[in-house]
Structure 1
Amino acid sequence: MSNNKRVLRASIATAGAIGMLALSACGAAETGKSNTAGESEKTVKLTVPSWVGAEANVAVAKEILEKKLGYKVKTQQMGEVLAWDALSKGDIDAVLEDWGHPEQEKKYIEDKKAVVKGGDLGVTGHIGWFVPKYFADAHPDVKDYKNLNKYADQFKTSESGGKGQLLEGSPDYVTNDDAIIKNLKLDLKTVYAGSEAAQITEIKKNVKAKKPFLTYWWTPQWLNSQVDLVEVKLPEYKEGCDKDPKKITCAYPNTPLQKFFNADFAKKGGKAAEFLKNFKWTTEQQNEVATMIAGDKMSADAAAAKWVEANPDVWKAWLPKK
């Protein structure tokens, strides 16, 4: 989940970075040829980024591919950058939620022609810095980054070394935050919870105690329906303001999330490829499934089955034309 900012070096999953699965060195050559592309194999391989919204995408796609179209779906959890390499080799067929990787797009789409665009997911992602609404209501000027140093003492923790803490998720995220802090001369320090799940636990604990905190956060995210967070205004994002990672001073952009396919799978993947190209839903729909998984503690398969049963008018439009 990276809009070329939030890139994952590995995976983000529940407690700790849920194991990035190493790919075999003897995998297919980097030609874009998918080992299971084509209808005869009837197997589709999907990567599962370990934040829950992306898990919801894969769960619903898997439910429909298996129960409605007769495919077998294999899933593999890995980091975003690693997934691009796997996609190019045909070790996976599709990435259903990408937050923007311009370097990988140039390498694998333009240069190697091993990966192709799969279209919009239909969800727009955004990353930013957030504080709880109860703190913003009591201190309205905290919503402007220019006033963050004023509140640094209130954001301090035992891990932040005398500075205000900016709570992060997994150390496998690559964010702009350290550069933003340095370049805007903010009295803050990034502190990593260890995973998305650990970050959520920390946020919930702080909210319950009505403590002030500042956190790196994003939308869409199922927790936003349960915890009221307010974004801190960073300098406006303008095209190219994030070109040099060391000099960034601007906010994160809004990023329409994208799908990408192995080039051979896109050509020969038959109904599976056509279905995945058609797969497009809203933030609200994704959050509905994500909340069942993370909030209601349902298995991803059970949540997907429940959603598919309740929303035939949505997913039937994704099915291949006969």
Structure 2
Amino acid sequence: MYTKINSIVLIALLLTCINTRANDQPIRIITNNWTSQVVLSKVTGELFKSLGYQVEYISSATSDQWGALVYGAGHVQVEVWEGTMSDVFNRLVAEGSIVDAGTHDAKTREDWWYPAYVEDICPGLPDWRALKACSKLFSTSGEGRGIYFAGPWEKPDEARIRALDMGFNVKILANGDDLWVELKKANAIKKPIVLFNWTPNWVESRFEGAFVEFPVHARECETDPEWGENPNYLYDCGNPKGGWLKKAAWKGMEKTWNCAYRTLKNISFNNQQIASASALVDVDKLSYEQAVRTWLDQNKDVWVNWIPEGCNK
């Protein structure tokens, strides 16, 4: 399936050869490039450490993390989003290449989003047709095609713009934090802006706003051009609503680190918990380590129940 093993995988294989005993092998937790995923990963790592395990964090693009999980270069990914990762996740689980380690309580949504004041400038929102009619307001000059700010993740935005003739161009930003830089700049002068956003996320606790309501998603939107608004193109719909948020694990984790695996299965964050964890970094400006310690201190009654009976150090 994978014809090329990346450098992360090669390093992991070397480490595995060096470490011959399971307890000597660190559990490698994959971190991605957005705040909530990093904080949740490090919270999980602290729980593993409390059980006596060694932990390492490896940074990976979402496209590269699957090879790491398959080959044991990475062992845990705690924030797998249905909207962006379901196809490859479901396929690898069905093949037995990785393990579905359970679903968080949180419900997800990922789509185009705007701050509330934009509704006064572009009447008819959140309907996508209103946004289409107002597209010039979102251009850099007030004329021409509007700008939609996207993150560095794989989304069919260009295909949607084409299918729905939205009159926008996509500006892809280098990382998730750059989205909030653009949001804060626009909000300061009440400039129209539409950007990629998701829930759970700290933004919902600090900014009023709404997702654009595109035609309701259906699987056929991605597979049958004749379905939906435009009979000639795919992706003439929005992203799924009320999606799942899952955890993924290397298939050898349960046998190698049983208590850590059982703890991972029990870990379940809800929307509010994830939003508050993210806000500690993105709003309160704590370091990741400070945010993790603060969250653990404030939520002991939550995470203590994630530790399985008989697994306390």
Pair in the same fold by TM > 0.5: yes
Q: Paired residue for 2:235, among 248, 254, 265? A: 248
Is the 2:150–2:196 Cα contact (8 Å) retained in structure 1? yes
Residue segments in structure 1 that go unaligned for 5+ positions in a row: 1-20
Give the match's secondary structure for 2:44: helix
Q: Which whole-Å CA distance do the structure 1 matches of 2:199 and 2:19 have between them?
A: 34
Q: After the TM superposition, which residues 142-153 of structure 1 pair with which residues of structure 2 at under 5 Å, given as runs?
A: 142-153=125-136
Q: Deviations over 1:187-232 (max 9, x none)?
A: 1111123221111111100000011112122111112222222222
Q: Paired residue for 1:105, among 81, 89, 99? A: 89
Q: After the TM superposition, which residues 1-322 of structure 1 pair with which residues of structure 2 at under 5 Å, given as runs?
A: 22-25=7-10, 28=13, 39-41=22-24, 43-66=26-49, 68-100=50-82, 101-105=85-89, 107-111=91-95, 113-157=96-140, 162-170=144-152, 173-243=153-223, 247-254=234-241, 255-322=243-310
Letter of the 1:283 partner, please give it.
N
The farther-off stretch of 39-48 and 298-307 is: 39-48
The farther-off stretch of 221-230 and 80-89 is: 221-230
Q: Which whole-Å CA distance do the structure 2 matches of 1:223 and 1:290 have between them?
A: 9
Q: Which whole-Å CA distance do the structure 1 matches of 2:205 and 2:67 have between them?
A: 35
Q: Which whole-Å CA distance do the structure 2 matches of 1:27 and 1:58 have between them?
A: 19
CA RMSD of aligned residues (A): 2.6
Is the 1:63–1:301 Cα contact (8 Å) retained in structure 2? no
Is the 2:28–2:55 Cα contact (8 Å) retained in structure 1? yes
Which residue matches 2:230? none
CA deviation after TM superposition for structure 1 residue 147, in Å: 2.2
The farther-off stretch of 242-251 and 298-307 is: 242-251
1:300–1:244 Cα change, 3 Å: farther
In proportion to residue count, which structure has more helix? 2
Q: Deviations over 1:9-63 (max 9, x none)?
A: xxxxxxxxxxxx942547549xxx9997975226211001111111121121122
1:206–1:106 Cα change, 3 Å: closer
Give the match's secondary structure for 1:313: helix
Residue segments in structure 2 that go unaligned for 5+ positions in a row: 1-5, 226-232
Q: Deviations over 1:56-108 (max 9, x none)?
A: 21121122222x21222100110122111100101111111111334433553
Q: What is the percent sequence identity of the aligned residues? A: 23
Q: Which whole-Å CA distance do the structure 2 matches of 1:37 and 1:134 have between them?
A: 59
Letter of the 1:105 partner, please give it.
F
Task: Calculate the TM-score normalised by the size of structure 1.
Answer: 0.83
1:63–1:79 Cα change, 3 Å: same
Q: Which whole-Å CA distance do the structure 1 matches of 2:297 and 2:202 have between them?
A: 21
1:133–1:295 Cα change, 3 Å: same
Give the match's secondary structure for 1:167: strand
Is the 1:130–1:229 Cα contact (8 Å) retained in structure 2? yes
Is the 1:34–1:91 Cα contact (8 Å) retained in structure 2? no
Is the 1:136–1:142 Cα contact (8 Å) retained in structure 2? yes
The farther-off stretch of 233-242 and 99-108 is: 99-108
Task: Calculate the TM-score normalised by the size of structure 2.
Answer: 0.86
